[in-house]
A and B are shown apart, each in its own frame.
Chain A
Amino acid sequence: MRIISIFFMAFGLSVSFAQNKQVIYGLDEVPQSLLLNPGTLVPQKSHFGIPFLSQVHFNGGASGVSTFEIFGNSNVDINTRIREKIFEMSDKDFFTATQQLQVIDFGWRSQKDIYFSGGMYQELDFITYFPRDLAILAWEGNRDYLGYEFDRGQLSATGDLLTVYHFGANKRISKKWTAGVRAKIYSSILSVKSTNNRGSFVTRLGDVNSPNIYEHLVQNADVKVQTSGIKSLENTTAGKVVSRAFLGGNLGVGVDLGATYEIDDRWRASASLLDLGAIFHSKDVEQYHATGDYTLDGIELIFPPLSEGEATLPYYDNLEDEIERELPVDTINSGYTQLRPLKVNASVKYSFGKYLGGVECDCLDKGGIQRIQAVGFQFYSILRPKGPQMAATLFYYHKLYKFLAAKATYTVDPYSYTNFGLGVAADIGKFNVYLAGDNIFHYGNIAKSKSVSLQFGLNIKIDPE
């Protein structure tokens, strides 16, 4: 139970972004907005992220339940609340945890006016869908569900710990277009995946031909768990695990693409495609695959005539052997390819208000003509095992001073319809600091939020003279 409480604390307390970083996207004052759109407008001449501090981001979220709904002070028994939630949630609900730490991040503008950027970050990404039927089976048992087919296919989870090495280029290719591309090498440290499972379990009353009262049936079972980097964990040293972070693990390649189109001095559109790639797991791989059908009727006693002291038949062993034969779990060591969760960002922005600096000019010469206020719409999607998860955001941007910009967001996503976010980015001398969070109205009591977020970073940024 302690594990359960830690689980809920982790999901409820983590101050973080869900995968969607809607506040930072398009906030060009933050150098790390390049990681969300390699084709964004880059105003600075160069930047260097403070190692381990240029972007720190933890994530936690549960689409169907908040910590408060389970652990809030209440006269209702906690078990009643959990039971109600189990039945309220669907197998489309999910729990996620994502964490990113930028280890190194840098960028500079070349003489050919290309902004090169690169770096390395570590990422933890975990999602599990809520296996509603299995939760009901565990919570209630099968007595009240005779004839009901518990769906094992609801079991769907992935977990990855990896490092990403990246290098990208960004260029304003015309008056209206800015485009960028980023190449990525993934070095997987640990990976677990169990998706696209099938099968059901049902207990039903036996008919006249059944040998016993019930029939317990496992039907069309096809359950697969793919792991890499896990098998050797018991017999490996911390040093070896760490070495996987430095290209010593299973490697993969990917690409980020992005572009910004300045329609006129007020309208701007942008889009990006992130993590279009795959990891090729070949080392330290272990896959488990269970398939088959089986009907359990209990144990048949045949009362064999025995001499004194002679042992009877090993009924229980035979039953176990039969189950293993009919529902074999194959262990496979062959490699497999895992697609990265593809993310899509898109936005339309309308600028208004006074010009930055008070006059109409392309003052920075890199980011078009800037007005001090803007509103817009953003779309975000991430490809998950059971299909894409999407979010829509309305935002308001205001450049308060030349050194200080703020962005407010309202987001509708699988977690809630009341997600308000706010971010500020400041250039203090050569230091660039930013802080962003969503679900800000829940900060008074994070427990009531289904996902809360905080993201911050510190860079050294050199602007054009």
Chain B
Amino acid sequence: MKKNLLLPLTVVFSMLLVCSCVKDVDFDQAQNITLTPVVELDLIYFNLDAGDFFDTISNTQRLTVRDTTEIRFLDDTGVQESLKRAEFLFNFTNTINREFQVEFQFINEMNQETYYTSTTVSAGNVGNPVATQFIENVEGPEILELTMADRVVVSVTVETIDETVAGELNLQSKTTYYLEIKDRS
């Protein structure tokens, strides 16, 4: 009996092996695979003293202080293709009795400005820090401008100051990068 069953089974099995196939699958869907990670990353931070805005040697005001750092990954081809939105969060804490204008100039390798944003930081008091939060959301066509840049120039400007002014201006910042990574070939 078993012999009678096994022989046809063997034939069927062999046929199965020969005829085995892959059904009901669509490998073209691979084109639609999209990774959408949202990455939180610290950006820059600084701690400016009121004295940084006044040159005691020459007894003159330095109404604008400026510094630059590269953000080399920003104009990376992969980031240019994948970054859909970037949300910058700047947290200022000010104990200087002055209002500040803070500018962020994103520039490319040719020193051309590709993206610009700025904010006003409220005045505070020594012993009474005042927080200013600034959120800059970049998406759509602006994201292309942002990702043309590979560095940011930060300028902090005060209208007037003298050597008697004390306190600190502190910045903490981060960026939330919304990426969309997929096969673009």
Please report the C-alpha to C-alpha distance between residue A398 and residue B16 in the assembled complex, in whole angstroms: 20
A454 at the interface (CB under 8 A from B): yes
B21 at the interface (CB under 8 A from A): yes
Q: Are A139 and B45 in contact, with the CB atoms below 8 A?
A: no
B128 at the interface (CB under 8 A from A): no
B154 at the interface (CB under 8 A from A): yes
**Known A214-B174, A424-B14; contact A446-B33, beta-carbon cutoff 8 A:** no
Q: Are B22 and A73 in contact, with the CB atoms below 8 A?
A: no
Of A144, A214, A303, the residue contacting B46 (CB under 8 A) is A303
Please report the C-alpha to C-alpha distance between residue A303 and residue B177 in the assembled complex, in whole angstroms: 26
Q: Are A77 and B6 in contact, with the CB atoms below 8 A?
A: no
- Contact flags (1/0) for A89-127 with B, using CB distance below 8 Å? 000000000000000000000000000000000000000
Chain A contacts with B in 199-215, Cβ cutoff 8 A: 203, 206, 211-214
The winner among B16, B55, B67 for most chain A CB atoms within 10 A is B67
Please report the C-alpha to C-alpha distance between residue A400 and residue B3 in the assembled complex, in whole angstroms: 6
A239 at the interface (CB under 8 A from B): no
Classify chain B: how many residues form its interface, as a range.
35 or more
- Contact flags (1/0) for A274-308 with B, using CB distance below 8 Å? 00000000000000000000001111111111000
**Known A142-B39, A315-B69, A400-B3; contact A444-B44, beta-carbon cutoff 8 A:** no
Q: Are A12 and B37 in contact, with the CB atoms below 8 A?
A: no
**Known A203-B40, A298-B44, A303-B66; contact A444-B23, beta-carbon cutoff 8 A:** yes
Q: Are A300 and B40 in contact, with the CB atoms below 8 A?
A: no
Q: Are A67 and B40 in contact, with the CB atoms below 8 A?
A: no
B12 to chain A, nearest CB (A): 9
Please report the C-alpha to C-alpha distance between residue A435 and residue B17 in the assembled complex, in whole angstroms: 9
Residue of B nearest to A445 (CB): B23
A201 to chain B, nearest CB (A): 12
Residues of chain A within 8 A of B26, CB atoms compared: 71-73
Please report the C-alpha to C-alpha distance between residue A29 and residue B97 in the assembled complex, in whole angstroms: 94
**Known A2-B185, A4-B30, A298-B174; contact A443-B38, beta-carbon cutoff 8 A:** no
List 27 A-B residue pairs with CB atoms under 8 Å apart, sorted by A's residue number.
A4-B33, A15-B20, A71-B26, A71-B29, A71-B30, A141-B37, A141-B179, A142-B40, A143-B176, A206-B172, A213-B89, A214-B40, A298-B44, A301-B44, A301-B45, A301-B69, A303-B66, A303-B67, A305-B55, A400-B6, A406-B6, A424-B10, A440-B13, A440-B16, A443-B17, A445-B24, A446-B20
Q: Which residues of B contact A (CB under 8 A)?
A: 2-3, 6-7, 9-10, 13-14, 16-17, 19-27, 29-46, 48, 52, 55, 62, 65-72, 89, 91, 154, 156, 172-174, 176-177, 179, 182-183, 185
Q: Which residues of A contact B (CB under 8 A)?
A: 1-2, 4-5, 8-9, 12-13, 15, 67-68, 71-73, 77-79, 82, 137-144, 146, 203, 206, 211-214, 216, 296-305, 312, 314-317, 373, 398, 400, 406, 422, 424, 435, 437, 440, 443-447, 452, 454
